[in-house]
Chain A
């Protein structure tokens, strides 16, 4: 005769009994078994006192390492956390190799074989001034002159704009010139932390933000990059946004943004459409020629190709259409 293993036969059990009885009986029996089994081989009170004393002794005797190892066995999450922390530390400390831009090289090819060396030297000097170059070399061949300038600026766009404007200015003077800009890089071996520290990039979106919100956004990004107490001032003037930043790294060390020691000073002004701003301090004794030269220099730096005339203090700028 077959029977359900959870439907014990005998008095008190009928077919009308609720379905859970057999299951409950099994559960009850298991709980009783647990009651019985948990009372087996129970340590005596004396054994417990000895075990607790040994546990206390182990707590006081074992060092940090043994304690950690024991805890890692009873607390597996601790092992995982330690492994993650170790990995993060390795990522931050172990050096990795990467390329860093340290500046740009500008090669200006002037195709004017008839140009004398004095004029070529003047052009090299002007190029050096316009780019803020640290080192300028000039070579000549049958085709003309080649001027190589080393620029410390990290901004490829800015250097290219100035070099192109300078070449266009020379072309406007009747000298065929072409500027080529290539980044100068160096391969360094450093930690991820140092790599991140070397690169400071701030992205801000003016859309819908008040000047105060924009200031807070920029300040937060600068502080996240390790600059202490940055002084940020934002003003809106129509379509123009003026951002002034003054910050130090707090330790007098190399500033990650500018590469200069200890201090960051930026004055960023976003012009309106088709609008540029040039500021010239009119110093005492400044002649019209001086004023013209200063305006032309600033315009070249902004990549603007224009004809400037100054007469009796009146300035006229005529853009040169390409």
Chain B
């Protein structure tokens, strides 16, 4: 490929990527174990996109096309998950610009929560993790996820249900289920104050629906990305 062609292709890619840059980067971070992991995956997805840009026929579908590339990168890195357990653990969500005071406390509490749920998500198979992140955090519809994952909507529902159930089991193993029915005895040391109050507004429970199929409360409305 001639240098001019490459430059033109990069210009085209950057032009398509700019409107969805922030959302795509956040998606990469949420799929990954940490912010650096997500940033690395995003950069790799950009490089892969450059190599495969000639396969993009309709530029209006760039968003879903790039998500597919990102999912491919995510699955490649997930397949290396077994070996990653031999790497030293790092703090997954560490940031430098931390505010002080009350905001700093909330900042730190969110970081701890994000670390905890990232570790829980990391225990899911890649396809379940993708379904949960797209549905619960990105606000994608079942049909959109089905198109991205190239499976039927019912398969996506199944992945969602199984992913949620695994997340619940993970949290139960962390001790959450045991303590929800048995309040601490008077005089005993309770949980850290930061975890006592819900951080964000809660919604009503879903009722007596089987737990595996129940949606998590408070799912954001489907909003999608800028196309």
Contacts and interface: CB of A to CB of B under 8 A. Distances in A.
Contacts, number: 164
A312 interface: no
B25 A48 contact: yes
B179 A6 contact: yes
B111 interface: yes
> Which 4 A/B pairs are nearest by Cβ-Cβ distance?
A33-B113, A30-B117, A37-B114, A38-B29
A209 interface: no
B25 A34 contact: no
A22 B183 CA distance: 12
B185 interface: yes
B25 A18 contact: no
Contacts of A76: 83-84, 86-87
Nearest to A44: B21
B176 A18 contact: no
Given A4-B179, A8-B202, A41-B97, A28 B218 contact: yes
A25 B198 contact: yes
Given A8-B198, A28-B200, A2 B25 contact: no
Given A20-B211, A29-B199, A38-B26, A45 B18 contact: yes
Contacts of A21: 205, 217
Interface in B112-164: 113-114, 116-118, 120, 136-137
B222 interface: no
B202 A28 contact: yes
29 contacts: A2-B190, A6-B176, A6-B179, A6-B180, A7-B180, A12-B204, A19-B177, A22-B180, A23-B172, A23-B176, A24-B205, A24-B217, A27-B171, A31-B216, A32-B199, A33-B110, A33-B200, A34-B114, A35-B30, A36-B110, A37-B114, A38-B38, A42-B22, A42-B26, A45-B17, A45-B21, A48-B21, A51-B43, A76-B86
B181 interface: yes
A4 B137 contact: no
Contacts of A34: 30, 113-114, 117-118, 137
A3 interface: yes
B46 interface: yes
Interface of A: 2-8, 12, 17-43, 45, 48-49, 51-52, 55-56, 75-77, 80
Given A24-B217, A34-B114, A18 B179 contact: no
Contact of A5 (B172, B179, B217): B179
Interface in B29-66: 29-30, 35, 38-39, 42-43, 46-47
B184 interface: yes
Contacts of A75: 80, 83
Nearest to A36: B110
A2 B185 CA distance: 7
Q: Dominant SS at the A interface?
A: helix
A24 B199 contact: no
Interface string B70-93: 000000000010111011000001
B205 A27 contact: no
B5 to A, nearest CB: 15
A18 B205 contact: yes
Nearest to B181: A19
Given A5-B179, A29-B198, A29-B200, A42 B25 contact: yes
B181 to A, nearest CB: 7
A31 B203 CA distance: 14
Given A31-B136, A37-B93, A77-B83, A43 B200 contact: no
A75 B214 CA distance: 37
B177 A30 contact: no
B182 A4 contact: yes
In this complex, the member of A28, A39, A80 whose beta carbon has the largest number of chain B beta carbons within 10 angstroms is A28
A39 B204 CA distance: 27
A41 B111 CA distance: 13
A296 B135 CA distance: 94
A302 to B, nearest CB: 61
Contacts of B190: 2, 5
